[in-house]
Amino acid sequence: MSLPPSQIIIRPPVEAYSILIPVTGGCSWNQCRFCGVYKGVQKYTIRPLDEVIRDIDLYADSYPDHKWVFLAGGNPTSAPTDYLVKILTHVKARFKSLERLSTYSKALDIVRKTDAELMQLKESGLDIVYMGLESGSNTVLRLMKKGTNDRTIITVGRRLLKVGIRLSLYVILGLGSYEHSDEHVRETARVLTEINPTIFRFRTLNVIPTAPLWQDVQNGKFTVMRPVDILKEERDILMQLGSNVTSEMYNDHVSNYCTFSSKNVSLDREQLIAQLNRLIENPKIQQMEPKWLLHM
């Protein structure tokens, strides 16, 4: 039986200490082949506004001085703008010490909103969105049924930044397997360079049984890359970034094989590359097998 939309399935690691307010259930796209989070688990639903307001009030009464609130669901920005504005405005009104008001988003959501609507969201309190770039390669995006392309994500990213909404992009290492690794690296570095997002975060591909890609892995059509090669992809993306990229960079996920971070990747890039090279040359890393996590 599908879980109700009030059930929060995932949230970014950085939001571990945030108040989580369910806004949507499931994912409005839910076709990505690498993702098994919502498939057969939770259908896409927009929660009734009165339920969301009730939850906001409940948490505000208990934690009135809390500084971080995350609007939960696969991509709450898929909801109508006026609905979101009412939620954002109410959160801001109830949490007087709020420092971060955030949510997951998809490029497809932002494409459907005008610049005026994005400005409404910003002015109502939306501070940052977490969005999956996954890859800058159109080949990889198409194979993984991401539903978008490089030009869309570049346009969307620039529009969000222009209105003052901070942007945190996810990059999935190993998403192109060995066959498309070079293109995945090159094109991802290019797209990050063209956007210069506020933040980008590395994730390592981890295929779980509910993901459509799982069957391809089992029958040998898709090879999960070894940790040493994942680290090479990360290094090479950093090496190929343009000098204009001043993003924060994080490896803040259990799927990763290192925990590096930077407040300005332009300043720290050479140090990060040197650290990655030391890992790549480590015999223990060279012999390591993929994690094969069943949950994250």
CATH number at residue 128: 3.20.20.70
- Beta bridge partners of residue 170, listed in sequence order: 132, 201
User: Which residues contact residue 192 at a Cβ distance below 8 angstroms, ignoring those fewer than 6 apart?
Assistant: 133, 136, 169, 171, 200, 237, 241, 245, 247
In sequence order, the 6+-apart residues with CB closer than 8 A to the CB of 80 are none
**What residues make up the domain containing 26?**
13-287
* Per-residue confidence (pLDDT) for residue 292, from 0 to 100: 79
Residue 260 falls in which region: left (phi positive, over 0), alpha (psi -120 to 50) or beta = beta
Edge-to-edge strand order for the sheet containing 166-173?
A: 19-22, 68-72, 100-105, 128-134, 166-173, 199-204, 248-250, 261-262
Count of the separate structural domains present in the chain = 1
pLDDT at 282: 96
pLDDT at 296: 56
User: Does the residue 4 lie in any domain?
Assistant: no
**Strands in the chain per DSSP E:** 19-22, 24-25, 45-46, 68-72, 100-105, 128-134, 166-173, 199-204, 248-250, 261-262
Residue 44 half-sphere exposure toward CB, CA atoms < 13 A: 11
In angstroms, rounded to a whole number, what is the distance separating the alpha carbons of residues 280 and 268? Answer: 18
Alpha-carbon distances of 157 from 70, 251, 258, 259, rounded to whole Å: 20, 20, 27, 25
Q: Which helix (H) or strand (E) holds 236?
A: helix 227-240
| pLDDT of amino acid 2 | 86
Please indicate, yes or no, if residue 5 is contained in any of the structural domains: no
Asked if residue 19 is part of any domain, the answer here is: yes
- Residue 162 inside a domain? The answer is yes
Enter the tokens of residue 164: 């003052």
In this predicted structure, what is the pLDDT of residue 295? 64
The pLDDT value recorded for residue 1 is 60
Indicate whether 241 belongs to any domain: yes
Distance CA 37, CA 134 (A): 15
Distance separating alpha carbons of residues 240 and 151, to the nearest angstrom? 19
* Residue from 129, 52, 45, 46 nearest 94 by CA: 52
Asked if residue 65 is part of any domain, the answer here is yes
Tokens of 168: 């945190």
pLDDT at 62: 97
Per-residue pLDDT of the chain in tens (296 residues, 90 and over written 9):
689 999 999 999 999 999 999 999 999 999 999 999 999 999 999 999 999 999 999 999 999 999 999 999 999 999 999 999 999 999 999 999 999 999 999 999 999 999 999 999 999 999 999 999 999 999 999 999 999 999 999 999 999 999 999 999 999 999 999 999 999 999 999 999 999 999 999 999 999 999 999 999 999 999 999 999 999 999 999 999 999 999 999 998 899 898 999 999 999 999 999 999 999 999 999 999 998 776 65
Amino acid (1-letter code) at residue 61: D
